[in-house]
């Protein structure tokens, strides 16, 4: 049951403002997003139309602390098909970004951010990898991108 | 024709067969790839935690290409998406561009407008063209049948890709496959996502997505699946054994990167196309065309 006392009526505006103008308030609940969603086809715990509804109702805490906001596969099918241009994929990114600020972050995404912040790439490259590449006739790749490490560090300090 | 080759994170350490074959076919076609070792991760992996970090990282990569006056050729669909999307955001939003440039200044770089990014397959389709590719074919592949998985970020969001292909009914990769003389076979739910982006978030869902697709693909008697993205290949090839065990089925479906197929058509050998690194062995199809 939804408890109206716990709803945050400003949540939808917070979300819209966070990343450009996400047009969330335009949603008329047609369900085109959910109908074409490849994740929803496998598991109903991810349901884009329901997530939008929850945001519009102001269910801030439920949405931000949920597992389901981490399940969008970013295929952009709903983004392209939405008749109201709600920009759902962008919306899901926005919800994740806000969730992170509130301390809710999925461990696998946290680890990805740590790796990129430490090396400027998603995988740590060892000398072994470059030796292997050399044998294949491929040029070496840089192990650490100091410039990226610096850029993301600065970001974290703010 | 010169392009800055953008490898991203996965290809140089987990998809060297893609890289080797792309370099080999580029050589045949007179395409020169310039390696810029300052290119880092595109920025996609940090988008969920901090979108602004993605923008800054992508902008830095774009700045590196523009310093050299080069167009970027990508091999990974996710890199293509993030770099193209960021380029568009920065071109359209002056305030964001100025903000990003303040940050880039600290590392001595500047984003300048007008950088171009295209996926290598799109470059093959647009700059080389199907007819020119056909002229270079020296090996008969007419006995072979393939199905292609486009991968979402090759086509979507449509607004960033200038209408080069139709995201609801794409054809560029099918035409590139048929240019080799082989047949491209349609299949059910061709546009469904591989699930790669949520493999870490929910492995069960991601593997179920890939399993559905492998089922549809193998409904027809194809020789291999063709992909143009390392993430999609991780789902369909690297995880194929795991999927077979989990869902109690058997696919044994070789998965080739498009340049590997193109290289075969150009008469190149399996060694220079990196076939040793293909996890599901393509020996049957290679034997069909007399490649040893």
Residue with tokens 């990196």: B274
Cβ-contact B163, A87 below 8 angstroms: no
**A90/chain B closest Cα distance in angstroms:** 10
* Residues 8-47, chain A, touching B (beta carbon < 8 A): 19, 38-39, 41-43, 46
- HEC string of A79-92 equals HHHCCCCCCHHHHH
Instruction: Quote the minimal CA–CA distance from A58 to chain B in Å.
Output: 21
Tell me, what's the pLDDT at A2? 85
The whole-chain average pLDDT of chain B stands at 97
CA–CA gap between residue A23 and residue A26 (Å, rounded): 6
Kindly give, in sequence order, each residue whose CB lies less than 8 Å from that of residue A52, ignoring residues fewer than 6 positions away: A24, A27, A29, A33, A86, A88, A91
Can you spell out the DSSP letters for B153-187?
HHH-SGGGTTTSS-TTS--HHHHHHHHTTPEEPP-
Q: Which candidate from A39, A138, A151 shows the least CB-CB separation from B107?
A: A151
B276 CA to chain A: closest CA distance, Å?
Answer: 11
| % of chain A at pLDDT higher than 90 | 87
Give the pLDDT confidence score for residue A3 in this predicted structure.
87
Nearest to B201 among A70, A129, A151 (CB): A70
State yes or no: pLDDT of A85 exceeds 90.
yes
List chain B residues with pLDDT less than 70: none
Task: Write down the pLDDT at residue A157.
Answer: 53
Taking Cα atoms as reference points, which of B83, B50, B44 lies closest to residue B66?
Answer: B83
Taking 60 as the threshold, does the pLDDT of residue A150 lie above it?
yes
Identify the CA nearest to B224 among candidates B285, B177, B165. B285
Sort A44 into a burial class: Cβ within 10 Å, 0-12 / 13-18 / 19+: exposed
Partner-chain contact A122 B9, CB within 8 Å: yes
Residue ranges of chain B assigned to CATH 3.40.50.11810: 137-288
Q: Is residue A158's pLDDT more than 80?
A: no
Q: Is the pLDDT score of A154 beyond 60?
A: no
Helix intervals (H) in B29-123: 51-67, 77-92, 94-105, 120-123
pLDDT of residue A20: 72
**Domain B2-119, classified CATH 1.20.1050.140, yes or no:** yes
A36 to chain B, closest Cα gap in Å: 9
For residue A46, give the chain B residue with the closest CA. B205
Look up residue B100 and give its two tokens.
């990003």
- CA-nearest residue to B57 within chain A is A148
Nearest residue of chain B to residue A41 (CA atoms) = B209
Question: Is 90 exceeded by the pLDDT of residue A1?
Answer: no
pLDDT grade, residue A70 (50/70/90)?
A: very high
**What is the location of CATH 1.10.1060.10 in chain A?**
7-101
CATH number of the structural domain A7-101: 1.10.1060.10
Q: Is the ipTM of this complex over 0.90?
A: yes
- Provide the β-strand partners of residue B5: B35, B73
CATH topology of domain B137-288: Rossmann fold (3.40.50)
- Note the pLDDT tens digit of each residue in B134-149: 999 999 999 999 999 9
Angle at B41 between CA B85 and CA B156, to 5 degrees: 30
A96 near B CB under 8 A: yes
Helix H, strand E, coil C: the string for A14-57 is HHHHHCCCCCHHHCCCCCHHHHCCHHHHHCCCCCHHHHHHHHHH
Nearest CA in chain A to B56: A151
Average pLDDT rounded to a whole number, residues A103-131:
95
The radius of gyration computed from the CA coordinates of chain B, to the nearest angstrom, equals 19
Question: Between chains, do A122 and B209 touch, taking CB under 8 Å as contact?
Answer: no
Residue range A139-143: mean pLDDT, rounded: 96
B234 in Cβ contact with B76 (< 8 Å):
no
Per-residue confidence (pLDDT) for residue A155, from 0 to 100 = 47
User: Tens digit of pLDDT for each residue in B49-98?
Assistant: 999 999 999 999 999 999 999 999 999 999 999 999 999 999 999 999 99
* CB contact (8 A) between residue B57 and residue A112: no
Of B16, B38, B53, the CB nearest to A136: B16
């Amino acid at each position: 049951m939804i408890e109206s006392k716990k709803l945050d009526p400003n949540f939808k505006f917070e979300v819209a403002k966070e990343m450009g103008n996400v047009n969330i308030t335009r949603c008329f609940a047609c369900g085109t997003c959910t109908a074409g969603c490849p994740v929803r086809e496998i598991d109903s715990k991810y349901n884009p139309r329901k997530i939008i509804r929850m945001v519009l109702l102001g269910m801030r805490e439920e949405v931000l602390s949920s597992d389901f906001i981490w399940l969008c596969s970013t295929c952009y099918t709903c983004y392209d098909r939405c008749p109201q241009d709600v920009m759902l994929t962008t919306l899901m990114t926005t919800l994740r970004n806000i969730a992170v600020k509130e301390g809710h972050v999925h461990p696998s995404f946290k680890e990805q951010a740590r790796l990129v912040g430490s090396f400027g790439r998603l995988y740590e490259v060892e000398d072994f990898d470059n030796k292997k590449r050399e044998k294949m006739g491929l040029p070496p790749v840089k192990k650490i991108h100091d410039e990226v490490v610096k850029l993301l560090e600065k970001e974290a300090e703010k | 024709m010169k392009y800055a080759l953008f490898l991203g994170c996965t290809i140089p350490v987990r998809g060297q067969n893609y890289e080797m074959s792309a370099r080999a076919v580029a050589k045949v076609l007179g395409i020169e790839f310039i390696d810029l070792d300052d290119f880092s991760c595109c920025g996609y992996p940090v988008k969920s935690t901090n979108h602004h970090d993605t923008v800054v990282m992508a902008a830095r990569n774009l700045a590196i290409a523009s310093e050299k006056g080069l167009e970027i050729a990508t091999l990974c669909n996710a890199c293509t998406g993030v770099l193209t999307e960021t380029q568009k955001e920065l071109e359209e939003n002056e305030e964001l561009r100025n903000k990003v440039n303040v940050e880039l200044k600290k590392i001595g770089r500047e984003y300048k407008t007008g950088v171009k990014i295209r996926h290598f397959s799109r470059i093959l389709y647009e700059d080389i063209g199907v007819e020119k590719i056909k002229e270079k074919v020296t090996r008969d592949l007419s006995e072979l049948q393939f199905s292609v998985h486009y991968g979402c970020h090759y086509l979507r969001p449509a607004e960033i890709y200038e209408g080069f292909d139709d995201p609801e009914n794409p054809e560029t990769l099918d035409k590139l496959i048929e240019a080799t003389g082989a047949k491209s076979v349609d299949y059910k739910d061709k546009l469904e996502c591989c699930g790669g982006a949520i493999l870490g978030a929910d492995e069960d869902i991601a593997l179920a997505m890939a399993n559905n697709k492998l089922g549809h693909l193998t409904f027809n008697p194809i020789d291999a699946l063709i992909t143009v993205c390392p993430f999609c290949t991780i789902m369909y090839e690297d995880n194929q054994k795991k999927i077979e065990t989990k869902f109690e089925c058997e696919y044994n479906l070789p998965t080739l990167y498009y340049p590997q197929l193109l290289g075969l058509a150009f008469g190149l050998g399996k060694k220079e196309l990196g076939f040793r690194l293909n996890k599901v062995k393509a020996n049957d199809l290679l034997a069909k065309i007399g490649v040893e």
